[in-house]
Amino acid sequence: MVSKANREENMIVCIIAEGSYPYVTGGVSSWIHQLIRSLPEIDFKILSIMPDYEKNLERRYEVPENLKEIKTIYLNDFLKKNQTHKQIKVKHLTDDNHKCLFDLITLNPKGNLYHMYQLLNDKKRFKKSIDLLKSDIFWEFSKTVYDKGFKEENFNDFFWTYRSMFISIINMFEIEAIEADVYHSVSTGYAGFLGAILKYHGEKPFILTEHGIYPREREEEILKAPWVPDKYKNLWIDYFYFISKLSYQAVDELITLFKKNQDIQLSIGAPKDKSIIIPNCIDLDALHYRPYEIRANDAYVIGAVLRITPIKDVMTLIRSFKIVKETYNEAKLIIIGPRDEDEEYYRQCLGLVELLKLKEAVTFTGRVDVVEYYRKMDVLVLTSISEGQPLVILEAMAVGLPVVSTDVGACRELLQPDQPSKASGIITPLVHPKATADGIIKILQNGKLASKFARNGRKRVEESYYQDIFINAYRELYTKNR
Amino acid sequence: MLIENYIQRIGDIMAGIGFQLKALFKEKSLSNKVKAYVFSAIVSSGPWIAAVITVNIILFLARVYLDSTTAQSLFLGTIVYTFVFSQILTAPWQMIITRFYSDRLFEKDYASIKPAFSGLNRIIFFTSLTIVIVFYFNKPLPLYYKVFAGYLFILLSLIWILMVSLSSIKDYTSIAMAYIVGGIISIALTVYLLNQPILFPEYTFQSNILLSYIIGLSITYIILMYSFLKVFHYGHDYNYDFIKYLSLFPSLFFTGLFYTLGLWIDDIIMWLSVIGVDVINTYKYAPVYDNAVFLAYLTIIPSAIMFLVIVETSLYDRYKKYYSFVNGEGNLEEIELARKELQNIIRIKLFHSFQVQSLITITIVLFSREIFKLLNLSVLIRNIFRITAFGALFNIFILHIILILLYFEFRKSALSIAITFFISNAIFTTIFSKFGLEYFGYGFTLSSFLSLILALGVISHMFKGLTERTFLTQPLANVEPSGFFVSLSRLLRVYTYSKKNPPKLGD
């Protein structure tokens, strides 16, 4: 109490992250880490959403001084929580209440999240929010969904899928409050949904930063996924759009990293008046610019910095390297980044390397200090099928590396801004080894172009993606909304 | 990664639950459960009939030697008390163990049958022993008579449990044999001992016929036990696993308790009324009323048998069809159609059986004057019989509806009907007994009628919401059962294990 009287207390920001910080490394995690470290005058709390309880979840980041609390919730624990076998009859429902629950249960994104929140936390009607899934109301409304789209399907499967789908979000309606001055979710989906609920709980502002477009990423994932039965794919996709759109309703500020994503966000239904762009920035102190040097021999080093996961399409990278090697037999490929996220995929990649007889030329480094490696590279390649605004491109631009990247996320905005003379890299189509290889070869063959790309890159980063720009923007956002 | 894990987890849960649901309603378990419940209900009337016949023959024979009805009444009092209270004691357990057996049989876990049987036997043995000691302790009867009577109570209680346990074997011939042989031995011994009585100092003839009866019944017990052990002679050592069912299905226990209490509460009230007779400060009973109600219950045996037939034939197929659709072979429309079909068949069959039974009851009541004259029973008994025969008619359909509700896992509804019947019977019997002799039996009949109306309402409501309920009451995820008796059974398991496998020195 004394200290409170004596000095103004630090502001507290609660960051809500899904499947990332501090347990999983990656773009978003690094971004959070950087944000926390750069704002020492603000206290942070992390609410980390993870799939399953694990005893010794390893923190992948050193906890900064001003990160005061890390709370982890496990999505699958929700599936086990709050069991009753009772059938429940919900009483005292007005027409509006009915409509509201109908919207919720039929996944209508036009439904009002705040009303849902109030209704499900109304102890007169629901002892626990999960009671909804045991209620006559849920039965009636889920049947309308069934009648509309699944009439011929086996009802048992439908009902289980449908009800299980709701367990997590319904439980979230009565999540324990976390005290903070601002709630900041770093994606939509579950994190955005929880952020919205915490806002209603704490009556504090809610900021939402979208690095990628969450429901789109889920959509791509689900369409390809063999573990989702075909007939329920659309249902799952609708579900993720639904929870994402609902969280838009609660935002006080909605941030995207680049224009292209903002457009998509708005087309999905984000509130235009709350939407702003704050690009990712990087700390230039550690990244020294080195003018491009044309190698004396042909032992070019092609670099890629990524997590070994299917979304990065490492296969295309390897195949394109095979093509490059036909021209530059001495070339090497260094793939930098964690190998343990999808070990099955990693093994497949190794298999491909073997198959293409590239074993001598391809190195998987695992986790290493990237900056060291930038110096050894001649070109940086990105073959992702989905990206936000990749930091690795900014870093490459900062150290003066030409970039070849697929046309995803902010890559085009970064590498090929409106004036072609300011370009710092080459954009290629997705899953196109030949095009990627052509891009690489073009840069390696043309030293003049390469050094121009290098110069342009550094310049552009210094102008628009310098760390302070981003930090100041968030500092301002937090304090403004306090 | 997160989402994949999440959706897959939901898939796992579905698979898990789906399995549970299937286990619950699979053909075999279904037929076992249905048959088990019905059989246990039917078999309980078997010993009754056997006892009525045996006891009446014994009494008929005894009449030659014991001229006064007071002399007979000691034997009769013993019999009535023993039957009524052993039923009340064991009925709740009969429900629990029936369910336990049918679940184990479905899992083909045959090794759990015998241990549960002997575990329950111990529980029943010690409870009935305690009851017997407390009840007879200060009663003015000679010790040998108390021993015979106490032995009868314990034996009969164990027979009820054994009968339920035999329901899964369905060895009808052995069961019939057991009662016939036991009955003949009782009767033969009675004849012999009445001529050459063992010279007990007091109540010589009563002691002799009671002794004859318990020897005959012991033979019955031995034969029944033999046919049980012939099939289930093996098993593990965990005798008390079944008591976790007290926590899992407490409503089954109480349904058994309240329905049986309801069946006898009017008798108990009548014992304490003006027509109550005191026998040697030991038994208070109402021979007029007991006799009438007893005969009334005999009239409903046809519908009990009809019910068994309905369940085994027309109900079974529809039930199977409905739950196979529910289990994932059908869309909602098919499920609902099957439900309506199921509902219809039950309505039609129950109504039909009600018509037939009504006709039988009315006929018997119309001819009651002649029948009672033939049996040499008093007009007083006939008056009570005429009204309680209708009570019994309503009552047997309450039981049928309770059983149907139990198949569909509507245990709470079944319990509420049992409790309603018990309370209303107690209240109405008390009220009508005040109006005088000509209103005896009206309380039981009215309460049975009202409870039947309630039961009909409940069952039609049940069918309307059956599908909704079936799906909504499935747990959201697999959960371990919990509760006092679950922990207790686990504890006893550990205890048994450590007793069988004592820790070795140096471990």
Please report the pLDDT score of residue B1 as a whole number: 47
B75 and B126, same domain (yes or no):
yes
Task: Provide the number of CB pairs (under 8 Å) joining chain A to chain B.
Answer: 112
Please report the pLDDT score of residue A2 as a whole number: 42
Output A83 or A132, whichever has higher pLDDT.
A132
Set of chain B residues whose Cβ sits within 8 Å of the Cβ of A135? 472
Taking 90 as the threshold, does the pLDDT of residue B225 lie above it? yes
The verdict on residue A288 lying in a domain is no
Give the integer Cα–Cα distance in Å for B233 and B228: 8
ipTM of the complex: 0.74
A355 and A456, same domain (yes or no):
yes
Set of chain B residues whose Cβ sits within 8 Å of the Cβ of A146? 332
Contact B10 A165 (CB under 8 A): yes
Taking 90 as the threshold, does the pLDDT of residue A358 lie above it? yes
Percent over 70 (pLDDT), chain A:
97
Output B486 or A421, whichever has higher pLDDT.
A421
Q: Helices B332-366 and B442-464, interaxial angle, to 10°?
A: 160
Output B475 or A172, whichever has higher pLDDT.
A172
CB neighbourhood size of A421 (10 A) = 7
Domain boundary among A141, A167, A193: A167
Nearest-Cα residue of chain A relative to residue B473: A85
The strand order across the sheet containing A362-366 reads A362-366, A332-336, A301-305, A379-382, A403-406, A425-428
Taking 90 as the threshold, does the pLDDT of residue A400 lie above it? yes
The verdict on residue A372 lying in a domain is yes
Taking 60 as the threshold, does the pLDDT of residue B189 lie above it? yes
B203 and B99, same domain (yes or no):
yes
How is residue B326 annotated by DSSP? I
Q: Is B7 on the interface with A (CB under 8 A)?
A: yes
Judge contact between B440 and B391, C-beta under 8 A.
no
Set of chain A residues whose Cβ sits within 8 Å of the Cβ of B330? 154-155
The verdict on residue A471 lying in a domain is no
B210 and B266, same domain (yes or no):
no
3-state secondary structure of B481: coil
B222 and B274, same domain (yes or no):
no
Residues 319 through 338 of chain B touching chain A, CB cutoff 8 Å: 325-333, 335
A184 and A310, same domain (yes or no):
no
Please report the pLDDT score of residue B41 as a whole number: 52
Give the integer Cα–Cα distance in Å for A195 and A177: 11
Which tens digit of pLDDT belongs to each residue from A244-274? 999 999 999 999 988 888 999 999 989 999 9
Question: What's the predicted TM-score (pTM) here?
Answer: 0.75
Query: How many domains is chain B partitioned into structurally?
Result: 2
Percent over 90 (pLDDT), chain B:
34
Measured between CA atoms, how close is B61 to chain A, in angstroms?
A: 58
The verdict on residue B400 lying in a domain is yes
The verdict on residue B6 lying in a domain is no
The verdict on residue A478 lying in a domain is no
Set of chain B residues whose Cβ sits within 8 Å of the Cβ of A19? 1-2
Set of chain B residues whose Cβ sits within 8 Å of the Cβ of A16? none
- Which of B21, B248, B332, B468 should we substitute to test contact with A (largest number of A Cβ atoms within 10 Å)? B332
Contact B9 A49 (CB under 8 A): no
Residue A47's pLDDT band, with cuts at 50, 70 and 90, is very high
Contact A152 B331 (CB under 8 A): yes
Q: Which helix (H) or strand (E) holds A207?
A: strand A206-210
The verdict on residue B507 lying in a domain is no
B207 and B343, same domain (yes or no):
no
Give the integer Cα–Cα distance in Å for A10 and A479: 11
Taking 70 as the threshold, does the pLDDT of residue B134 lie above it? yes
Q: What is the 3-state secondary structure (H, E, C) of B267-285?
A: HHHHHCCCCCEEECCCEEE
3-state secondary structure of A340: coil
Output A144 or B75, whichever has higher pLDDT.
A144
A307 and A158, same domain (yes or no):
no
Residue from the list A154, A165, A167 with its beta carbon closest to the beta carbon of B329? A154
B201 and B277, same domain (yes or no):
no
Q: Is B345 on the interface with A (CB under 8 A)?
A: no
Give the up-direction half-sphere exposure of residue A435: CA atoms within 13 A in the CB hemisphere. 12
Domain boundary among B239, B270, B290: B239
The verdict on residue A124 lying in a domain is yes
B334 and B200, same domain (yes or no):
no
Residue A405's pLDDT band, with cuts at 50, 70 and 90, is very high
Contact B473 A87 (CB under 8 A): yes
Q: What is the mean pLDDT of residues A368-387?
A: 90
Q: Rounded to whole angstroms, what are the CA distances from A256 to A219, A266, A276, A394?
A: 19, 11, 6, 17
The verdict on residue A87 lying in a domain is no
CB-based contacts of A265, cutoff 8 Å, min separation 6: A210, A213, A254, A256, A275
B295 and B414, same domain (yes or no):
yes
Measured between CA atoms, how close is B321 to chain A, in angstroms?
A: 14
Which tens digit of pLDDT belongs to each residue from A128-167? 888 898 899 999 999 999 999 898 888 988 988 898 889 8
Please report the pLDDT score of residue B477 as a whole number: 66
Please report the pLDDT score of residue A463 as a whole number: 87
Continuous H helices in A52-203: 75-80, 95-105, 113-120, 136-149, 155-172, 189-202
B163 and B292, same domain (yes or no):
no
Residue A388's pLDDT band, with cuts at 50, 70 and 90, is confident
A163 and A179, same domain (yes or no):
no
Judge contact between A13 and A38, C-beta under 8 A.
no
Q: Rounded to whole angstroms, what are the CA distances from A102 to A109, A140, A142, A184, B145?
A: 11, 9, 9, 29, 72
Q: What is the mean pLDDT of residues A297-314?
A: 92
Contact B331 A159 (CB under 8 A): no
Contact B333 A151 (CB under 8 A): yes
Q: Is B10 on the interface with A (CB under 8 A)?
A: yes
Taking 80 as the threshold, does the pLDDT of residue A6 lie above it? no
Measured between CA atoms, how close is B319 to chain A, in angstroms?
A: 17
Please report the pLDDT score of residue B293 as a whole number: 87
B414 and B453, same domain (yes or no):
yes
Contact B11 A136 (CB under 8 A): no
Residue from the list A130, A160, A236 with its beta carbon closest to the beta carbon of B7? A236
Contact B469 A218 (CB under 8 A): no
Contact A82 B18 (CB under 8 A): no
B63 and B151, same domain (yes or no):
yes
Judge contact between A383 and A273, C-beta under 8 A.
no
The pair of structure tokens assigned to A338 is 């964690």
Measured between CA atoms, how close is B467 to chain A, in angstroms?
A: 10
3-state secondary structure of B196: coil
CB-based contacts of B423, cutoff 8 Å, min separation 6: none
Contact A342 B1 (CB under 8 A): yes
Q: Is B507 on the interface with A (CB under 8 A)?
A: no
Residues 412 through 471 of chain B touching chain A, CB cutoff 8 Å: 468-469, 471
A329 and A459, same domain (yes or no):
yes
A395 and A332, same domain (yes or no):
yes
B45 and B168, same domain (yes or no):
yes
A159 and A235, same domain (yes or no):
no
Residue from the list B327, B331, B476 with its beta carbon closest to the beta carbon of A133? B476
Nearest-Cα residue of chain A relative to residue B467: A139
- Across A291-300, A312-321, A361-370, B301-310, the highest mean pLDDT is recorded for A312-321
Measured between CA atoms, how close is B494 to chain A, in angstroms?
A: 27
A310 and A381, same domain (yes or no):
yes
A62 and A209, same domain (yes or no):
yes
Contact B328 A154 (CB under 8 A): yes
Cα of B203 vs its chain's centroid, Å? 33
Judge contact between A22 and A46, C-beta under 8 A.
yes
Set of chain B residues whose Cβ sits within 8 Å of the Cβ of A133? 476
Please report the pLDDT score of residue B373 as a whole number: 84
The verdict on residue A142 lying in a domain is yes
Which tens digit of pLDDT belongs to each residue from B346-390? 899 889 889 989 999 999 999 988 888 887 778 888 999 999 999
Q: By residue range, what is the domain housing residue A402?
A: 301-465
Q: Rounded to whole angstroms, what are the CA distances from A107 to A234, A239, A265, A363, A473?
A: 12, 6, 19, 47, 35
* CATH of residue A461: 3.40.50.2000
**Amino acid residing at B7:** I
Query: How many domains is chain A partitioned into structurally?
Result: 3
Q: Rounded to whole angstroms, what are the CA distances from B377 to B34, B72, B292, B383?
A: 39, 15, 10, 11
Percent over 90 (pLDDT), chain A:
58
Q: By residue range, what is the domain housing residue B452?
A: 251-494
Q: What is the mean pLDDT of residues B204-222?
A: 90
A343 and A406, same domain (yes or no):
yes
Measured between CA atoms, how close is B45 to chain A, in angstroms?
A: 35
Which tens digit of pLDDT belongs to each residue from B383-432? 999 999 999 999 999 988 998 888 888 889 999 999 999 999 999 999 99
CB-based contacts of A151, cutoff 8 Å, min separation 6: B331, B332, B333
The verdict on residue A476 lying in a domain is no
Please report the pLDDT score of residue B505 as a whole number: 53
Residue A394's pLDDT band, with cuts at 50, 70 and 90, is very high
The whole-chain average pLDDT of chain B stands at 82
The verdict on residue B246 lying in a domain is no
How is residue B325 annotated by DSSP? I
Taking 60 as the threshold, does the pLDDT of residue B26 lie above it? no
Residue from the list A79, A85, A225 with its beta carbon closest to the beta carbon of B9? A79
Residue from the list B5, B21, B328 with its beta carbon closest to the beta carbon of A52? B5
Give the integer Cα–Cα distance in Å for B441 and B286: 12
Taking 80 as the threshold, does the pLDDT of residue B503 lie above it? no
Domain boundary among B214, B239, B264: B239
Q: Which helix (H) or strand (E) holds A255?
A: strand A253-256
Contact A221 B330 (CB under 8 A): no
Contact A155 B327 (CB under 8 A): no
Residue from the list A19, A85, A134 with its beta carbon closest to the beta carbon of B2? A19
CB neighbourhood size of B499 (10 A) = 9
Residue from the list A79, A155, A341 with its beta carbon closest to the beta carbon of B332? A155
Taking 50 as the threshold, does the pLDDT of residue B48 lie above it? yes
Residue from the list B3, B328, B479 with its beta carbon closest to the beta carbon of A83? B479
Output B168 or A356, whichever has higher pLDDT.
A356
A423 and A450, same domain (yes or no):
yes
Which tens digit of pLDDT belongs to each residue from A196-235? 999 999 999 999 999 888 998 889 888 888 878 888 899 9
A330 and A403, same domain (yes or no):
yes
Set of chain A residues whose Cβ sits within 8 Å of the Cβ of B11? 227
The verdict on residue B313 lying in a domain is yes
- Which of B476, B479, B480 should we substitute to test contact with A (largest number of A Cβ atoms within 10 Å)? B476
Set of chain A residues whose Cβ sits within 8 Å of the Cβ of B468? 87, 136, 139
